[in-house]
Chains A and B, each alone.
Chain A
Amino acid sequence: MTYSAGYGDPEQGAPATAWRDGWPVYDRSGTVCVIGAGPSGLTAMKNLKEHGFGVDCYERDTSVGGAWNWRHDRSPVYSSTHLISSKPFSQFPDFPMPDSWPDYPKHTQVLEYLEHYADHFDLKPHIWFGTEVVKVEPAEGERWDVTTRSTGGYGGERIHRYAAVVIANGHNWSPKRPEYEGLEDFKGEVIHAAQFKDAAQLRNKKVLVIGAGNTGCDIAVEAAQQAARCWHSTRRGYWYTPKYTLGRPADQVNDLMLWLKLPLRARQFLAHRTLKSTVGDLTRFGLPKPDHKIYETHTIVNSQLVYHLGHGAVSPVGDVARFHRHSVELKGGEVIEPDLVVLATGYHPSFEFIDGSLLGVDAQGRPRLAMHAFPRRQPTLAVAGLLQPDSGLFPLVHWQMVAFARMLRVREAAPAKAVAVQRRLESELDRRWTSAKVKDSTRHWFEISHTTYLKAIQRLLDELSLEGAK
Chain B
Amino acid sequence: MKVLRAREWAFPIAPVRREVRRATPELDEGKPPVLFVPGFGHGAWAFAEHWLEHTADRGFPAYAVSLRGHGDSAKAPKATLRAYAHDVAQVAASLPRRAVIVGHGAGALVTAHALARYPARAAVLLSPVFGGAGTALRNPMLSLPALFGGGLRLPAGQLFSRELPANAARGYAARLGRASTRAQWQLLRGRTPQPPVGDPPVLVVGSPDDRIVSDTALRRVARGYGGAPLLFPGMGHDLMLDTRWREPIDAILDWLEKSA
> Which residues does A use to contact B, with CB under 8 Å?
50, 86-89, 93-96, 98-100, 119-122, 251-253, 255-256, 258-259, 399, 451, 454-455, 457-458, 461
CB distance from A456 to the nearest CB of B (A): 10
In the complex, A133 Cα to B5 Cα: how many Å? 37
Contact pick for A252, options B12, B93, B119, CB 8 Å: B12
Residue of B nearest to A396 (CB): B3
Interface residue B258 (Cβ < 8 Å from any Cβ of A)? no
B13 touches A99 (CB 8 A): yes
B94 touches A50 (CB 8 A): no
In the complex, A149 Cα to B2 Cα: how many Å? 41
The residues of B that contact A461 with a CB separation of less than 8 Å are 1, 3
Q: Which residues from 159 to 214 on chain B have a C-beta closer than 8 Å to any C-beta of chain A? A: 197-199
B7 touches A119 (CB 8 A): no
A399 touches B3 (CB 8 A): yes
> Which residues does B use to contact A, with CB under 8 Å?
1-15, 86, 89-90, 93-98, 117-119, 197-199
CB distance from A262 to the nearest CB of B (A): 11
Known: A95-B119, A120-B95. 18 other contacts (CB 8 A): A50-B119, A86-B12, A87-B12, A88-B8, A94-B117, A94-B118, A94-B119, A96-B118, A120-B96, A120-B98, A252-B10, A252-B11, A256-B6, A259-B6, A451-B4, A454-B4, A458-B2, A461-B3
B9 touches A88 (CB 8 A): yes
CB distance from A349 to the nearest CB of B (A): 25
Q: Can you list the 4 inter-chain pairs with the closest CB atoms, starting with the nearest?
A: A99-B15, A259-B6, A256-B10, A88-B9
A95 touches B12 (CB 8 A): no
A259 touches B119 (CB 8 A): no
In the complex, A258 Cα to B46 Cα: how many Å? 43
The residues of B that contact A119 with a CB separation of less than 8 Å are 96-97
B9 touches A255 (CB 8 A): yes
B9 touches A252 (CB 8 A): yes
A451 touches B6 (CB 8 A): yes
In the complex, A120 Cα to B97 Cα: how many Å? 4
In the complex, A88 Cα to B216 Cα: how many Å? 39
Residue of A nearest to B16 (CB): A99
B198 touches A94 (CB 8 A): yes
CB distance from B241 to the nearest CB of A (A): 30
Residue of A nearest to B197 (CB): A94
The residues of A that contact B4 with a CB separation of less than 8 Å are 451, 454-455, 458
CB distance from B119 to the nearest CB of A (A): 5
Residue of A nearest to B199 (CB): A50
Residue of B nearest to A259 (CB): B6
Residue of A nearest to B17 (CB): A100
In the complex, A457 Cα to B10 Cα: how many Å? 20
Residue of B nearest to A252 (CB): B10
The residues of A that contact B9 with a CB separation of less than 8 Å are 88-89, 251-252, 255
The residues of B that contact A454 with a CB separation of less than 8 Å are 3-4
B10 touches A255 (CB 8 A): yes
The residues of A that contact B86 with a CB separation of less than 8 Å are 96, 99
**22 pairs, A vs B, C-beta closer than 8 Å:** A86-B12, A88-B12, A89-B9, A96-B93, A96-B117, A98-B90, A98-B94, A99-B12, A99-B14, A100-B15, A119-B96, A120-B97, A251-B9, A252-B9, A252-B12, A255-B6, A255-B10, A259-B6, A259-B7, A451-B6, A461-B1, A461-B3
Interface centre among B6, B8, B86, B118 (most CB of A within 10 A): B6
CB distance from A464 to the nearest CB of B (A): 11
Residue of B nearest to A467 (CB): B195
In the complex, A122 Cα to B198 Cα: how many Å? 15
Residue of A nearest to B89 (CB): A96
The residues of A that contact B3 with a CB separation of less than 8 Å are 93, 399, 454, 457-458, 461
